[in-house]
Structure 1
């Protein structure tokens, strides 16, 4: 049976969604019921240098206001903090807290476990082939922090 290009896109999105949903469920089971996928993207962007709402908004491809709301949630939950910039005492910089890094570490561990589940379902060789094909198709550096904004952008 031949599939359409749209079917391929939906299958790939379905694979992503399945992994993310399962990881979110497992994080909740481990006590992190308040973590959402966008929080992971935001914390990774902050750890990579997006140290204010404007920079985070650019990294996530969302408005400064949307980034500020995400920051407020992450601060309230203890995943990020605002610290005084050592070079400019008037400026406050965002930093991922130890708790935030623990959530990221737990998430990575969970994704490794989910990958192992997929390996058991289709076999190590087939999973390695799938990953190699995806690298060929989308490139080796497939991590994009702008996914939340890209998924929700208004094209109209």
Structure 2
């Protein structure tokens, strides 16, 4: 019997296309809302910085990139007004990277826009089917924590436990 299933490579491409559809929709709306320079990697960096800030070394670890690559991201986001560097209150020799109000605004708007995009998918697929899709993806991804090291992984960093 001939299989009517699509070839195996179709699944990752569809998942990637779904990701791109959501992220492209996000960035089109962010541009309309005053963040035209925001790029997909910026969201990963801002999330990895965390609400309390972090060092460039730790940021690199969280993103799965070198300290130098993390520093380039910080420099770009600092220039765009999304991050700032400040003295570490625990160690005056270190600098912390922190989100600015603009960086926090970008993440808040992103969350709201993703909610709207999800609603659009629920309208297209049906709310129950979308929830089932999310549940099923959680099962096949072993329900692990959401990871922020995508920039390093995409750049060819170690496979780790991906």
TM-score (norm. length: structure 2): 0.89
Q: Deviations along 1:97-123, whole A, 9 cap, x unmatched? A: 121111000001010000000011111
CA gap of 1:48–1:153, structure 2 versus 1, over 3 A, is: farther
Tell me the residue number matched to 1:14.
17
Q: Which runs of 4+ in 1 moved over 3 A?
A: 139-142
RMSD between superposed Cα atoms in Å:
1.7
In 2, the alpha carbon distance for the partners of 1:58 and 1:50 equals 14
Q: CA deviation at 1:8?
A: 0.7
Number of equivalenced pairs: 155
- Contact 1:50/1:59 (8 A) holds in 2: no
Greater helix percent: which structure?
A: 1
Q: Deviations along 1:49-94, whole A, 9 cap, x unmatched? A: 6612221111111122111111001111111111111122222111
TM-score (norm. length: structure 1): 0.92
In 1, the alpha carbon distance for the partners of 2:95 and 2:32 equals 34
- Equivalent residue for 1:144, pick from 119, 136, 147: 147
Gapped regions of structure 1 (runs ≥ 5): none
Tell me the residue number matched to 1:38.
41
Gapped regions of structure 2 (runs ≥ 5): none
1:105 aligns with 2:122: no
In 1, the alpha carbon distance for the partners of 2:65 and 2:78 equals 18
